[in-house]
Structure 1
Amino acid sequence: MVVGLDTEIKKRVKGNKQWMISRCFVFDGALSHETILNGSVGILFADPGSEIGEILTKEAGPTGLSANPSWAPELIATCFEIQTANPEQYPEILNRSFPFNRLAPVQKIQDNERLIYVIRKLIENPEESTNIEELALEIGMSESWLQHEFKNAVGLPLRAFRKWFRIKTAVIAIKEGSNLADAALGAGFYDQAHFTNAFREIFGISPSVVFQKGESIRWYIQNEEIEKMLRLP
């Protein structure tokens, strides 16, 4: 989800000539699209399989892209509040804002040991190019079963999840001070160009634009959902 704090945002699905214009867009991370941003923006990148991710998936709708949800003004107000708050206040501010304050239970995978094994292998070794057929053999199931069950439980195809988690890993590395090239390699991308293309596919904009030198970024990264799914200590 992305919101414009100073002005409206432009988005269009790749291949379309017509631009959509709105202060707020909710979109599927697997949707190939383009974005034009001006001024300050707020971006929420929700974990697949999380409660927030489920809310945003429903809001994005069957086309994977929707504009101006009813709660957009509330979210914009929250972004402005974060701009003037201290980092230790972010969790409290977000917990009383949509969609964080209206979570409903969604399907979890704690009882599926084979899927837990697969997801743990993907997130603990993001730099490895894991073969899906080999993963299926390791857990004693067919490749088609793994693909089907993974998407049902997590909400994304396995390859899309792997790309999402690599992008998240790279973004966390950038937050901790890595440059784009080092962050890309550490997250399992072939090079910076590979990371740029994957990032652009999801957000519709290059990471070099988002993480420009001198730009002020207010970060809040929460890994709680993945830890719950995998029952990590």
Structure 2
Amino acid sequence: MFIGKLPYFAFHSTVTSAAVVGLDTEIKKRVKGNKEWMSSRCFVFDGTLNHETFLNGSVGILFADPESEIGEILKKEAGPTGLSPNPIWTPELIATCYEIQTANPEKYSEILNRSFPFNRLEPAQKIEDNEHIIYVLRKLIKNPKESLKIEELALEIGMPASWLQHEFKNALGFPLSTFHKWFQIKNAVIAIKEGRSFTDAALNAGFYDQTEFTNEFRDIFGIPPSVVFQKGESIRWYIQHEEIEKILNAQ
């Protein structure tokens, strides 16, 4: 969850489902290949959608981890086109963002757990019965610094690399390499918000250097991390423990 002021998101694909809401005014969004801009107070979109966004004023952005319950709710709301404006819960999301803006950080979890979509989670597509995928996910999430070696992972679970990639994408909806990059970026963002430098955060998350982290961040979010995490900016943020991490920690 991100609440703050951002200017513009260039064309990007966020990997997983998300919702963005304008707290002061409407948001403009354009899907790649379309000339016309769409205007709405709130948009829900699928992570595979390549789009750009023009923002004016404060916004609230809810990103969902891959394969999470929240992600499934947002993906369904985005619909067959991968983009849906003004869902019926827009006022509820706006109210939640305003409440977080004036609350102490220790209250964020309580506020979100009684707000959309945390207060209406439904069972998402489960992966706990797939031992191969669980093993790979645990390796990726718990060892973010390690470079991705698909051939070695495939050997460890006794299946061809091509089959592992096929089974992973079939289970989660996107390539193994994309999932790995998402959690590397998430780890770097957490480190930055804890006060570590961009370079230190990037290296500890498994990136080669700060430049690689910046490029990957821009590809996913359409904006460099330096703009999001400017010193002195009043940005509210919160990371919820999501379904996929609950599954892994229970194993």
TM-score scaled by structure 1?
0.89
The 3 A distance-change label for structure 1 pair 8 and 26 is same
**Structure 2 CA distance for aligned equivalents of residues 102 and 141 of structure 1:** 38
What amino acid is the match of 1:194? E
The aligned counterpart of 1:159 is 177
The aligned counterpart of 1:102 is 120
Which stretch shifts more, 93-102 or 154-163?
Answer: 154-163
List alignment gaps of at least 5 residues for structure 1. none
**Structure 2 CA distance for aligned equivalents of residues 167 and 228 of structure 1:** 19
Deviation of the 1:130 alpha carbon: 1.3
Higher strand share: 2
The 3 A distance-change label for structure 1 pair 6 and 59 is same
**Secondary structure in 1 aligned to 2:39?**
strand
Q: How many residues align?
A: 233
Aligned residues: CA RMSD: 2.1
TM-score scaled by structure 2?
0.83
What amino acid is the match of 1:133? E
Matched, 1:120 2:133: no
Matched, 1:5 2:28: no
Deviation of the 1:84 alpha carbon: 1.3
The aligned counterpart of 2:11 is none
The 3 A distance-change label for structure 1 pair 44 and 152 is same
**Secondary structure in 1 aligned to 2:237?**
coil
The aligned counterpart of 1:56 is 74
Matched, 1:67 2:85: yes
Structure 1 stretches of 4+ moved >6 Å: none
The 3 A distance-change label for structure 1 pair 179 and 7 is farther
Deviation of the 1:224 alpha carbon: 4.3
Matches within 5 A, 1:9-24: 9-24=27-42
Q: Contact conserved, 1:30 with 1:160, CA < 8 A, in 2?
A: no
List alignment gaps of at least 5 residues for structure 2. 1-18
The aligned counterpart of 1:204 is 222
Matches within 5 A, 1:177-196: 177-196=195-214
**Structure 1 CA distance for aligned equivalents of residues 83 and 205 of structure 2:** 27
The 3 A distance-change label for structure 1 pair 41 and 171 is same
